[in-house]
Amino acid sequence: MKLEEVTSFITVLVQPWQVDICNKLRDMVHQTVPGVEERMQYKKPHFLKNGKYAAVISTAKEAVSFVIFNTSEVDFPEEQFEGPPERKTIKFKSGQAVDYDLLASLLNKASATL
């Protein structure tokens, strides 16, 4: 279920490209993780499966970040992602292509054991 709080977070973003990426990431999470729940926590959208973090979307002035949790057993392309073994972050800037299929595949593997 999509929460109005998360919709509001996305719609008030100043940069149109950020709104577009955040909406597509949100839709991708909902399509990839069955029964995912979303909540606003620490002023950013968090996505949970069985009460455990699966992903987070956050924004900065020049970027959108997407964090995938529970990643210790999943192979990530190191040149695109950063972070400790248990969570990986990828950042997107204006004009940068987003491989939603790759993200969905990685999220699907990482969230399978949640």
β-bridge partners, 103: none
β-bridge partners, 41: 44
Q: How confident is the model at residue 16 (pLDDT cuts 50, 70, 90)?
A: very high
Residue 82, token pair as written in the block: 């950063």
d(CA 3, CA 6): 5
Alpha carbon of residue 12 to chain centroid: 18
The one-character DSSP state at 82 is B
Residue 37, token pair as written in the block: 């729940």
Dump pLDDT digits (tens) for 20-65.
Answer: 999 999 999 999 999 999 999 999 999 999 999 999 999 999 999 9
The predicted pLDDT at position 82 comes to 96
78: pLDDT strictly greater than 90: no
Is the overall model pTM greater than 0.85, yes or no? yes
